[in-house]
Amino acid sequence: MLLRIGLLLLGLSGFPGGGAAAGLDAEWLLVDTSQLTLSVMQGETVVAVYTGISIGRDGTTRVKSVGDRRTPLGSYKLAAIRDSERFYRFLVLDYPSLGDATRAYHSGRIEAASLAAIRSAHERGRQPPASTPLGGHIGIHGIGTGDARVHEDYNWTDGCVALANEQIDDLVGRVRPGMTVVIR
């Protein structure tokens, strides 16, 4: 019940991927930035939980800007899964979402050209440009060769969600591009 209330507060009717009936079996990811957990969900059922995640060193935000070192809150899609020299593995999110871009345009934070570029990327199934004032290159990644003690003690990313390398290995086996990722 609390999960359903949380989803309604995020503006999601039912579950990610559609209405309540369509989403009952949908697999999706829930990042809880207050509990510092990432959960793999099957509808309302928790399939796996990764604890001790790290988020942006300056917290979270609904209104992300390039370089603010904050993790964006909202609903995104997993766009791609890549190996990363720096972070070991990188699960690319389709940030900024079209909703993020539309709100930013209406508040005067981005120009029409930036909105059009973000819209075009989403329509073509490509990663949105990171060159707008909203930033980009947001995802879920490992710590690579970084210091595990820093990861355990601090939120250290520039806006991404980080897991220990062993956790990201396990997560990669459970996800696929197109999955919804809710960050709250």
pLDDT by residue (tens digit) across 53-80? 999 999 999 999 999 999 999 999 999 9
Please name which of 102, 96, 158 lies closest in space to residue 127, comparing C-alpha atoms: 96
pLDDT tens digit sequence for 121-156: 999 988 899 999 999 999 999 999 999 999 999 999
Residue 49 token pair: 């939980």
What values do phi and psi take at 78, rounded to 5? -75, 115
What mean pLDDT do residues 17-24 have? 46
* SS3 call for 117: helix
**Does the pLDDT of residue 10 top 50, yes or no?**
no
How far apart are the C-alpha atoms of 157 and 141, rounded to whole Å? 10
Does residue 3 carry a pLDDT above 50?
Answer: no
pLDDT band at 39 (very low <50, low <70, confident <90, very high): very high
